[in-house]
Structure 1
Amino acid sequence: MVIYGRNAVEEAVRSGRNIEKVYLLHGKFFEPEFLSLLQERGVRFQWAKRPQLDRLAGTGKHQGVVAIISPIEYATLQELVEETVNRNSFFFALNGITEPQNLGAIARSVELFGGVGLLLPQRGSAPINEVAVKASAGALLHLKVVRVDFLEEGLLAFKESGGNVYALETGGRDIRDSQLKRPLAFILGSEGKGIDAELVELADLTVTIPTVGKLPSLNVSVAAGIAAWEIFRRGA
């Protein structure tokens, strides 16, 4: 859901609604109190040009403020970790996945193959909007989705609870020959940049999906589907 206008957005923030992101008109003055409110409530915001705001709001009468209201209720990190451990299951941590379609498609694979949810960073991640929910075929409504300031903190908490962390990246061990110990988390990175070095270092093992074609890599959502199937195929 999209809302716009200074008062409407501020009221949504104060009411505690799950807000994916607030877009503010580049070059427009906003009171420091308003910006401080967004920061205090942990609401992500970014500056945008007027044509982008017009498209998001569907009108030019947005007063330079447009907010995306999340269609899901976020879970806590503790809930994600505990359910993954208790069910001896898995979740995916997404590093630099900025396209809602990819996020939604990944969520669909996680749900289809019995995973628990997704771990997302507060910044540098696709918003969970109508596009993402549609691409997930509704799977996002059935998963535990968590946002943390840094993926490292969530993955370390999972490891401290007995979880195993794997990075899905080129140059690793063939996933077919790798032991995947449950409960587990897979880190997925963007097709261009890959997984951040500190996350690869944090992982217990880096695994790769082997290919024989001329293209350098798989689409991240396709890779996620293969990895989720591989976990499912091996059983608990």
Structure 2
Amino acid sequence: MEKRRNDNGKKERKFGTREKERRPFRPRRDEAPLEEQEQNENQLEGRNAILEVLRSGRDIEKIMVAKGNVEGTIKRIIAMAVEKGVVIQEVSRQKLDEISQTKNHQGVIALVSAHNYVEVEDILAAAREKGEDPFVLLLDGITDPHNLGAILRTAECAGVHGVIIPKRRSVGLNATVGKTSAGAIEYMPVARVTNIVQTMEYLKKEGLWIACADMKGLDHFDTNMKGPLALVIGSEGDGVSRLVKENCDFTASIPMYGKISSLNASVAAALLMYEVVRQRRF
């Protein structure tokens, strides 16, 4: 830009004629091109697709239905899901629009499991077939799929016979869990139960002791974790819920010597699992 004087002696500005360079369009970092966006292979959309998966008997994590939309096929889907014990979640249509991959969800989206679940009885039977004392993990409120995947991976390496998770307040066997587990999801039996406390009572009747991971418990080095055992791991934020903790036989803690007072849930689970391995095998 340069200045010159006009006829009245005043300065005026003269702008250069070079056109402003046009920058190529680039998507925002949080808006990757469609072909680069990760698709959830375990998400089904549309009424007919979800009816078929319900008929097939495949394990379903939950079904999300648009609020107020309970007519016709949706009503049939809800009835079949309730009969099979599948979790139904009512959400806004806007929420369905946001997570829809096909943009044609028809008011219903289902999240199916990346792997089928087993029964608690199957886990105990597998331990007895090996001639080993049952070693089971009970996960109370683990909602992060990366934590669950990491726990499954360590559990498989530590010789755990099976993992038990609740249907609600817990992440299920989704695609992220499968990837994080590094293949352990294929070998580690996982049971999904309606009521954790009732399951604990059943395990006690089957001869298992229930140990709860708790910061105020006995040092896990001084705790006897031999024999048939179910180890309860809670969430990072809230730990083991009050009712579950009250129904445990004893507690075990991990000594902390630093300024941070807690560990990641999957790390805590790994330390306790391998303390069980140490006591049983060494």
Measure how far apart 1:138 and its partner are.
Answer: 1.2
Distance 2:152 2:102 in 1: 31
Equivalent pairs: percent with the same residue?
Answer: 36
Letter in structure 1 aligned against 2:55: R
* Count of paired positions: 236
Distance 1:52 1:131 in 2: 20
Q: Which residue of 2 aligns with 1:161?
A: 206
**Higher relative CO (CA 8 A, sep ≥ 6), structure 1 or 2?**
1
Tell me, in whole angstroms, the C-alpha distance in 1 between the residues paired with 2:70 and 2:156: 43
- Residues 226 and 280, structure 2, Cα contact 8 Å, conserved in 1: no
RMSD: 1.7
- TM-score, normalised to structure 2, is 0.78
Please tell me the residue identity of whatever aligns with 1:156: E
Q: For residues 121-144 of structure 1, what are the alpha-carbon distances to aligned partners after superposition, in whole Å with 9 as ceiling and x for unaligned?
A: 111110211100111111111011
> Is residue 167–residue 206 contact of structure 1 (8 Å, CA) maintained in 2?
yes
Q: Deviations over 1:89-119 (max 9, x none)?
A: 4121011111111111111111011111111
User: Could you tell me which residue of structure 2 aligns to residue 12 of structure 1?
Assistant: 53
Match of 2:112 in 1: 69
SS of the aligned residue for 2:148 comes to helix
Measured against aligned partners, the alpha-carbon deviations of 1:55-101 in whole angstroms (never above 9, x if no partner) come to 54313211121111212121111111233454214121011111111
Contact preservation (8 Å) 1:169, 1:195: yes
Q: Which amino acid aligns with 1:75?
A: V
> Alpha-carbon deviation of 1:214?
1.6
Structure 1 residues 51 and 84, CA gap change in structure 2 (3 angstroms): farther
User: Cα 1:65–1:181, aligned 2, differ >3 Å: closer, same or farther?
Assistant: same
SS at match of 1:165: strand
What's 2:86 paired with? 43
Larger of the two Rg values belongs to structure: 2
Aligned to 1:100: 145
For 2:272 and 2:95, the matched residues in 1 are separated by: 35
Cα contact 1:75–1:146 (8 A) shared by 2: yes
Q: Which residue of 2 aligns with 1:152?
A: 197
Paired with 1:20 and 1:105, the residues of 2 have a C-alpha distance of 19
User: Which amino acid counterpart does residue 222 of structure 2 have in structure 1?
Assistant: D
Q: TM-score, normalised by structure 1?
A: 0.93
Residue number in structure 2 paired with 1:179: 224
- After TM superposition, the structure 1 stretch with the greater mean CA deviation from structure 2, 14-23 or 99-108, is 14-23
Offset from partner CA, 1:199-231 (integer Å, 9 cap, x none): 112111111011112222111011011111111
Matched, 1:21 2:62: yes
* Greater shift in the superposed pair: 225-234 or 78-87: 78-87
Q: Tell me the residue number matched to 1:188.
A: 233
Residue segments in structure 1 that go unaligned for 5+ positions in a row:
none
Structure 2: runs of 5+ lacking an equivalent: 1-41
